[in-house]
Amino acid sequence: MITRRLLCAGAALAPLTASAPAFAQGDGRFPAAWLQGIRQEALRAGVDKGTLDAALADIREVPRVMEQARNQPEFNMTWERYQGLVVSEERIKRGRALLAENRAAIERFAGPAGLPPQVAVALWGIESNYGTRLGDFEVVEALATLVHNNFRAKFFREQLIAALKILSQGHIGLHAMKGSWAGAMGQCQFIPTSFLAYAADGDGDGRKDIWTNKLDVFASIVNYLRRVGWRPGVRWGNEVSSGAQAGGGGRIVRPAGAGGPAYQTTENFKVILRWNQSDFFALAVGLLSDRIAA
C-alpha cells in the first residue's frame, strides 16, 4: 500500500521503546508465562477460552514483522510524486467502473449518511486498491510479535486483545484474519480497535467481514465517516488561488509548499483526517473522489 498509515498518531512509525526480550526456545515460540499474561488479560476482556486456545496454542514470532517495523523508509515523497501514484489514471478508471458496478450497494449506506458514494470508493481504492491488497500477515501473530518485542507495546497490546475479541465474536476465522505487519486489516485497513468501534454488518448476517464481503466493507467505511462527524452536503474542499485565505471553518492546505497548488478545505477534510492524520492522504481521497465522480 502506497499510503502512509499513521496508526493512532504515528504508532506504527515510532521507534522501538526497549530492547527485544529473548525467546524461551529457538523455534520462535513465545514464553509460556508471557502468553499466560495475554490469556488472562483477554479473558478479563471477554474473550472466550476456546478462542484463546485456538489462537495462542501454536503461535510463533514472525521475524518479517520486526524487519518491517525496524526498517520503515522515511516519508519524504513529494506531493507531485504522491499524487501521481495514489490518484493514478488507472485507479481513477477502476474507481469509476467499480462505482458504476456497486452504486446501489454503496448508496444503500452512503445515502442515509449524506456521504457521496465516490468518497467511499476513493477510500476503498487508496486503502486496499479496491480490495486487492489486504496484507499477508496473520494479524494475531503479527501483533503478538510487536508486543513481545516491545515495539509500542502498550498500543499494540491493546490491538492484540481487540483482535482476539474480533475472533471471539465470530466475524472472521483465525487464519483468514490477514492484514499488514502492523495489524491494519481487510479492505478498509482498520486496526482492530477501529474495527470494534466502526465496522458494520452490511448484509445482516451477524458478521462484520471487511475481508471478503463488499456490503460489510461499504457499510463500515460509511459508518466510520458518519460516526466521526461527516457533514452531509459539504464538500471536502476545492483548489483555490495560491493567495487565497482560509475561511468557513477550514484551512488552506499547500501540499507542495508556497509555490504549489492550494486547497481550501472544510470540516469534512478534518473528518477524513480522522481516518489518517496526513494532509497528503486526505487530499488524495478528496481528489480521487472528484475524479471518480467526474
Q: Mean pLDDT by 10-residue block, N- to C-terminus, for the chain (294 residues)?
A: 39 37 66 97 98 96 95 84 97 98 98 98 98 97 98 97 98 97 98 98 98 98 98 96 74 93 96 96 98 96
Q: Is 166 helix (H, G, I), strand (E, B) or coil?
A: helix
pLDDT at 10: 36
Whole-model pTM: value is 0.90
Q: Are 284 and 86 in contact (CB under 8 A)?
A: yes
Query: Which residues make beta-bridge pairs with 138?
Result: 178
* Residue 290 to residue 274: CA distance in whole angstroms: 20
* Residue 63 to residue 42: CA distance in whole angstroms: 24
* Residue 243 to residue 246: CA distance in whole angstroms: 10
pLDDT at 26: 61
pLDDT at 249: 67
pLDDT at 15: 35
Contacts 24+ apart (CB under 8 A), 49-53: 51/164, 51/167, 51/168, 52/164
Q: What domains can you pick out in the chain, each with its CATH number?
A: 11-73+133-225 (1.10.8.350)
pLDDT at 248: 66
* Residue 120 to residue 113: CA distance in whole angstroms: 11
pLDDT at 2: 38
